[in-house]
């Protein structure tokens, strides 16, 4: 290749994000300086928070600038190195963005530059052994703290984070109920991921079904959705319940305020706790999560799915799959094979 293809942010979205928010460009392939590494991206990660990074507002990360390649996690291969710890040909994970090539200074990179350990699958650092899996691990265990015999409810349960979070609770002895959209996703949760019960929010009354599937009420609610589903879950809290706020995808593309929850008083009545978190606060404990998750995968106790699209031209449309419910499990896109 003699150019660096990029998809840059062209305008900030109002409502549903789409191809019109991005512009395709080709730039010269960058050259690394001293202490830097040139990476060719092979796979890109797609995550709901990317929608928030496109907004010009204060958040836990600075917004993506207009004209800048869209921020995204990536797995790539070193093609040129001026850093003593990285050699040409090594496979690495980093924040490579929507482009073929990226120069990374390991000492100052936002998410670092990490070599893929031996035996780790090429895409796993972007899914079950990456930010997605760590989010599920720390959110469920540090904040949810499920105990044997308790009931755990997970929304967005067929997604990359929710599916892992629910299985972690099950591995700790909890009874797990998932909320997902459509028969295919619900079937995977029960038949493959081992959830005890599922609620199809597209075809079933959620509040009623929570009551039916959680007869002993909800001890831990792991929320990826917000809005009306969060409100429904709060109606069924048990005494001393823990509500873990991981995401709120129902509002990410909304142009008007999303209703709910109007029943926060239930937290007081049930002496419950509700807390939000961001996984970047746990990065110093990353190996703890990776070790545990790898162990469960090796024994077959943890299942995960990856939805892998292909083609650089399909990058913007692949982001949209997160918000239209097309993806099952972790959404990825393949740009190239390693050499």
Both 142 and 261 in one domain: the answer is yes
Inside any domain, residue 12: yes
Average pLDDT, 10 consecutive residues per value, the chain (339 residues): 95 94 98 96 96 91 96 98 97 97 84 88 96 97 98 97 98 98 97 98 98 98 97 98 95 85 97 97 94 97 97 97 91 97
From the CB of residue 313, how many other CB atoms can be counted at a distance below 10 Å?
A: 10
- How many residues in total does the chain contain? 339
Inside any domain, residue 295: no
Q: Which domain holds residue 247?
A: 131-280
Q: Give the C-alpha separation, 285 to 103, whole Å.
A: 26
pLDDT computed for residue 258 by the predictor? 83
Q: Please report which helix (H) or strand (E) contains residue 289, including its range.
A: helix 286-298
> In DSSP terms, which residues pair with 313 in a beta bridge?
none
pTM for the whole structure: 0.94
From the CB of residue 276, how many other CB atoms can be counted at a distance below 10 Å?
A: 13
Inside any domain, residue 287: no
Both 232 and 111 in one domain: the answer is no
Both 233 and 320 in one domain: the answer is no
Number of domains in the chain: 2
Inside any domain, residue 298: no
pLDDT computed for residue 110 by the predictor? 62
Inside any domain, residue 314: yes
Both 91 and 203 in one domain: the answer is no
Report the CATH number that the domain containing residue 97 is assigned in CATH: 3.90.180.10
Residues 221-277 pLDDT 10s: 999 999 999 999 999 999 999 999 999 998 888 888 888 799 999 999 999 999 999
pLDDT computed for residue 80 by the predictor? 98
What tokens appear for 45 in the block?
């990660």
Buried b (16+ CB within 10 A) or exposed e, 156-175: bbbbbbbbbbbbbbbbbebb
Q: Which of 264, 280, 296 is the last residue of a domain?
A: 280
Residues 89-105 pLDDT 10s: 999 999 999 999 999 99
Inside any domain, residue 339: no
Report the CATH number that the domain containing residue 188 is assigned in CATH: 3.40.50.720
């Amino acid at each position: 290749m003699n150019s660096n293809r990029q998809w840059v942010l062209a305008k900030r979205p109002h409502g549903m994000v789409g191809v019109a928010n991005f512009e395709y460009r080709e730039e010269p392939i960058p050259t690394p300086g001293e202490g830097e590494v040139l990476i060719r991206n092979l796979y890109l990660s797609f995550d709901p928070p990317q929608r928030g990074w496109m907004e010009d507002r204060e958040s836990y990360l600075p917004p993506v600038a207009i004209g800048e390649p869209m921020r995204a996690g990536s797995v790539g291969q070193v093609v040129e190195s001026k850093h003593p710890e990285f050699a040409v040909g090594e496979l690495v994970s980093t924040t490579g963005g929507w482009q073929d090539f990226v120069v990374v200074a390991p000492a100052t990179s936002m998410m670092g530059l990490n070599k893929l350990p031996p035996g780790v699958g090429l895409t796993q650092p972007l899914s079950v052994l990456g930010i997605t899996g760590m989010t599920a691990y720390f959110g469920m265990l540090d904040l949810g703290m499920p105990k044997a015999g308790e009931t755990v409810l997970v929304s967005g349960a067929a997604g990359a984070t929710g599916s892992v979070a629910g299985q972690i609770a099950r591995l700790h002895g909890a009874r797990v109920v998932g909320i997902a959209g459509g028969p295919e996703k619900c079937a995977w949760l029960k038949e493959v991921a081992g959830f005890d019960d599922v609620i199809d929010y597209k075809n079933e009354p959620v509040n009623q079904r929570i009551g039916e599937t959680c007869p002993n009420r909800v001890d831990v609610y792991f929320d990826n959705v917000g809005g009306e589903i969060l409100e429904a879950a709060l109606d069924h809290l048990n005494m001393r319940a823990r509500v873990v706020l991981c995401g709120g995808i129902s509002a990410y593309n909304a142009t008007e305020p999303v209703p709910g929850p109007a029943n926060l008083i239930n937290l007081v009545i049930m002496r419950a706790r509700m807390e939000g978190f961001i996984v970047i606060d746990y990065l110093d404990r990353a190996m703890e999560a990776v070790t545990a998750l790898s162990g469960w995968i090796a024994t077959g106790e943890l299942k995960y799915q990856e939805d892998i699209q292909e083609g650089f031209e399909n990058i913007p449309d692949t982001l949209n799959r997160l918000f239209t419910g097309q993806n099952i499990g972790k959404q990825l896109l393949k740009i190239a094979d390693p050499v």
